[in-house]
Amino acid sequence: MNEPRPVIVAGNWKMNSSPGDAGRLAAEIARVTELPGVTRVLCPPYVCLPAVKDALAGSSVAVGAQNVHGEQAGAYTGEVSAAMLTGLATWCIVGHSERRRDQGETDEDVARKLVRCAEHGLRPIMCVGEQLAERQSGRAEATVRRQLTQTIAELLRLGSGLAADLVIAYEPVWAIGTGLTARGSDAAAMAQLIRSVLADSGVAGIDPAGVPVLYGGSVTSAAIAEFLAEAEIDGALVGGASLKVDEMAGIVARAGMTAAARLGTR
């Protein structure tokens, strides 16, 4: 029997918190979410990484960055390279929908960032997902397929491949901060598609069936159960709720039930 996929809850604090309060928040979240079987990651703003790293020392909560530049170094004002994150983070979000939308990041940009993550030991959470118009016009699956295939094509062109520790977050962009909601069955179907595309790509070094797929569409403690009830979904990339201690406690508690059930089938 194959090993069960890990259950992962990653909190993306986006452009919130400050060095003065980030450490306290991280420590409190770590305290109330200590459950076996759940991998926890907190991704604060760059300026808060040292404070969060220090606050989480001795805990089992990992630290992630929200982004990384696709080049090693150079004249890129305001950007942060993977090398600069060494010792501060062990995970990194790549290709988040807000960066695709606001900074115009392309699938090729995402590929270069994945290469940098691999070079510097950062475990990537690669985000994919469709806009509302794409969902309404029946192009949701085609959009996610394109994002994956074009990223993989660029990786191969660069002489690289997919990292064996890759995590993918499916973000239905239309369900983020809009009041609209996705269904667990929709997310599960997209997770199946994601793994199918990975399998069809023929990229060596990665087990498509073992790639964790997270749900990332306005995750809350009230809504997470529907998604974690789906066997294809392995956790969540949490936005605004990850800034609230009680919300994170509820989300991780439900994730712990999923983890326990998976480990119980081994």
Catalytic residues: 96, 171
Q: Which two tokens stand for residue 214?
A: 């997270």
Cβ atoms 113, 72 nearer than 8 A: no
What is the rounded CA–CA span in Å between residue 132 and residue 184?
17
- In which residue are the tokens 């990786």 written? 155
The terminus-to-terminus CA distance of the chain in angstroms comes to: 8
Other Cβ atoms closer than 10 A to 139: 15
